[in-house]
Amino acid sequence: MDEEYYLTEEQRIRLEIEKEEKKKLKKEAGRRWRWLRGAAIAGLILLVVIFLLIRQWEKSQDVHRKPVIYLYPEETAEVFVRLELDGELTTTYPKYQNGWHVTAEPDGTLTDADGMTYNYLYWEGKSAVEYDMSAGFCVKGCDTAEFLEKALSELGLTRREANEFIVYWLPLMENNNYNVISFQTEAYAESAKLIVSPMPDAVIRVYMAWYGSDKPVKLQNQDLSSMERKGFTVVEWGGSEIHPR
């Protein structure tokens, strides 16, 4: 027979109350579990959104890779160089301290106050500058070295300068199916203003924006030209692997 048959009326009431309390506790525990699960899912979604936003922001901050500055005075000269970057400097060599103060020789050798010599002034930085990639060149990865040799000559780099440019960039480009390349000196010069004293007679700045592509991309052809080297000449080259938006 059912055990409750032998309980007193008071005991049965107490038993019913205990059952109801257990049901309430179970229901409350279920609600709390669903709330915690929902909060965990919402937190995870929030973390994913934050991560994606950070990634998007990082992509918008294109990195100026290895811009290097050569100084070629007509005779030994004390030269001051300052960079006004619309962004953040991340690396410099020699150390940038509100500018660079060096002694420059006609062959391009630079000497700092401590007697250390350099071939050029080096910097890298981040900037959100926008590049117009509608005009340029789409080059097969295997043809990139030959293309750069010709293009850099047309843009005014010497064989030595072009060699240093190609040695830096070619390993990042030659294994792509295609490279979409646009020389963006005007946009670059606006975002990274160069102030040199004494004032140079000629300034040649070569800046390559590019990205790899699995398929060929149609572009308007870009005209390449260079300023004539004369007197005190400053030369700079650099580039950025961009993220098309």
pLDDT tens by residue, 178-200: 999 999 988 999 999 999 999 99
Q: How far apart are CA 117 and CA 105, in angstroms?
A: 11
Residues 203-209, mean pLDDT to the nearest whole number: 96
Q: How confident is the model at residue 212 (pLDDT cuts 50, 70, 90)?
A: very high
Phi, psi at residue 4, to the nearest 5°?
A: -65, -20
Highest-confidence segment of 28-37, 59-68, 214-223: 214-223
pLDDT for 214: 96
94 SS3 class: coil
DSSP label at residue 61: S
Residue 176 CA neighbour count, 13 Å, CB half: 23
Q: How far apart are CA 217 and CA 137, in angstroms?
A: 9
Task: State the amino acid at position 225 in one-letter form.
Answer: S
pLDDT for 64: 67
Q: What is the mean pLDDT of the chain?
A: 88
Q: How far apart are CA 235 and CA 30, in angstroms?
A: 71
Residue 111 has pLDDT above 60, yes or no: yes
pLDDT for 10: 73
Q: How far apart are CA 104 and CA 120, in angstroms?
A: 10
DSSP label at residue 143: G
Strand ranges (DSSP E) for 86-120?
87-93, 100-104, 110-111, 117-118
pLDDT for 51: 59
R_g over Cα of the chain: 32
Which of 135, 211, 146 lies closest to 179 in space, CA to CA? 211
59-191-112-76 Cα dihedral, nearest 10 degrees: 140
What pLDDT digit, counting tens, does each position of 44-103 carry? 887 777 656 555 544 444 566 779 999 999 999 999 999 999 899 999 999 999 999 999
Whole-structure pTM value: 0.75
Bond into 94 cis (ω within 30) = yes
